[in-house]
Amino acid sequence: MKEKQQACFRTTIGGQALIEGILMRGPKKQAIVVRLADGTLQEKVEDLKLIRDKYPVLGWPLIRGVAIFFSSLINGVKALMYSADCLPEEEQEAQESKLDKWITEHFEDEKAKKIIIGTSVALGLILAVAIFMVLPYLVTGVFTKAITSSFVKNVIDGVLRILIFLVYIRLVTLSKDIHRVFEYHGAEHKSIHCYEKGLPLTVENIRPQPRQHPRCGTSFLFVVMIVSFLVFSVVSWENRILAFFLRLLLLPVVVAVSYEINRWAGAHDNLLSSILSAPGKALQRLTVFEPDESMMECAARALTLVIPEEKGSDRW
């Protein structure tokens, strides 16, 4: 019975792959562990300050998804910046954009970091909307002039959006640096699987674990694609400009519903949850690669730092 309970354990601890490192986020703490050029590990542990503690309404179902999405986006950018700062100076300079250089030259350190984080989040969202919403919408408008059915146009638009998303993911993996980040992604998943099975966090125990995980951010993004496909296929407007802005207004709804679906699927182990998780797990073949031993050590250390003292308090 004890082994069965351990096998069914689902943790709320989640992570993110960084540049030569791992971010792990537990119920009370967040840890960043980065592998330095000399092979040593640099650690940063912080107590979590959850926005829902200050504003309880942001923890309600169908509201929490949007709040968690933006919070994760901001914290993720901060963690990426921290990991980039751990690189050797010559590599930092090579990766720093002209905009980042201009900001650091014209503002004090603390203010410059806040501006860079805000700019990165804003540009990321704008780029995502441009690639995954504007582009397929424009292409659909050009090639479906003879089609009168709004439903058919929306279906074509949805299929194009998913295809563009898949092509985009495949292209970014061709970058050597991104490929390495995705290897750390594999180490993150494997270590969480190991922990959920109640095994000691050693490389020997982490190595045989599966790379795919049902609560992965990649799976969430794919669920967003599917939900937006369904929602936008039902909700339409004859005027294409108004229809596009209606889609923008519905994006928070899409994110909220997608989060609840992903949350439920990750917390259950039955036929329906397996069906809901299957597309995301399949997509993870493009974003989660096999890690090396040093990456697994990094992930194990980051996870260890956020495991709560009270056993089981991180149950999903």
pTM: 0.87
82 vs 52, 89, 113, 188, 297, CA distance in Å?
25, 13, 10, 18, 19
For the cut 70, the answer to whether the pLDDT of residue 291 exceeds it is: yes
Helix, strand, coil proportions of the chain in percent (round to 5)? 65, 10, 25
Paired with 42 in beta bridges are 34
Query: Tokens 């300079």 appear where?
Result: 93
Task: Give the pLDDT confidence score for residue 284 in this predicted structure.
Answer: 93
CA distance 18 to 220: 18
Domain membership of residue 76 (yes or no) is: yes
| Percent of all residues in the chain with a pLDDT value above 70, rounded to a whole number | 94
Q: Taking a C-beta distance cutoff of 8 angstroms, is the pair 33, 306 a contact?
A: no
What's the token pair of residue 125?
């969202």
pLDDT of residue 200: 96
Residue 249 backbone phi and psi in degrees, to 5: -65, -30
Residue 313 lies in a domain: no
Cβ atoms of residues 258 and 224 within 8 Å: yes
Confidence band for 237, pLDDT divided at 50, 70 and 90: low
| pLDDT, tens digit, 9 for 90 and up, residues 181-228 | 999 999 999 999 999 999 999 999 999 999 999 888 888 888 898 898
CA angle 250, 252, 257 (to 5 degrees): 95
Crossing angle of helices 64-85/240-267, nearest 10°? Answer: 80
Q: Residue type for 180, please?
A: R
Split at pLDDT 50, 70, 90, the class of 276 is confident
What is the share, in percent, of the chain residues with pLDDT greater than 90?
43
Average pLDDT on 162-180 reads 92
The structure tokens listed for 210 are: 């599966």
Expressed as residue numbers, the domain containing 163 is 2-306
- Reading phi first (left if > 0) and then psi (alpha if -120 to 50, else beta), residue 216 is in beta
What is the reported pLDDT for 2?
42
Count of domains forming the chain: 1
pLDDT given at position 192: 96
Burial of 255 (C-beta count, 10 Å sphere; 0-12/13-18/19+): buried
Residue 312 forms part of a structural domain: no
pLDDT of residue 5: 40
Identify the pLDDT of residue 4: 41
Whether the per-residue pLDDT at 233 is higher than 80: the answer is: no
Q: 3-state SS of 173-202?
A: CCCHHHHHHHHHHHHHHHHHHHHHCCCCCC
Axis-axis angle for helices 240-267, 271-283 (nearest 10): 120
Span of 103-107, 228-232, 262-266 with lowest mean pLDDT: 103-107
- 122-158 residue pLDDT tens: 888 899 889 988 888 888 877 777 777 777 888 888 8
Compute the C-alpha angle 310/48/129, nearest 5°: 125
On the CB side of 82, CA atoms within 13 Å amount to 22
Most confident range, picked from 37-51, 77-91, 185-199, 242-256: 185-199
**Model pLDDT for residues 296-311, shown as the tens digit of each residue:** 999 999 999 999 999 8
Give residue 66's pLDDT: 92
Q: Is residue 103 part of a domain?
A: yes
The pLDDT assigned to 6 comes to 44
In a domain, 266, yes or no: yes
Q: In this structure, is residue 225 part of a structural domain? A: yes
Decide if 247 is inside a domain: yes
Region of 136 on the Ramachandran plot (φ > 0 left; ψ -120 to 50 alpha; else beta): alpha
> Residue 316's pLDDT is what?
82
Q: Give the CA count within 13 Å in the CB-facing half-sphere of 8.
A: 8
Q: Report yes or no on 316 lying in a domain.
A: no
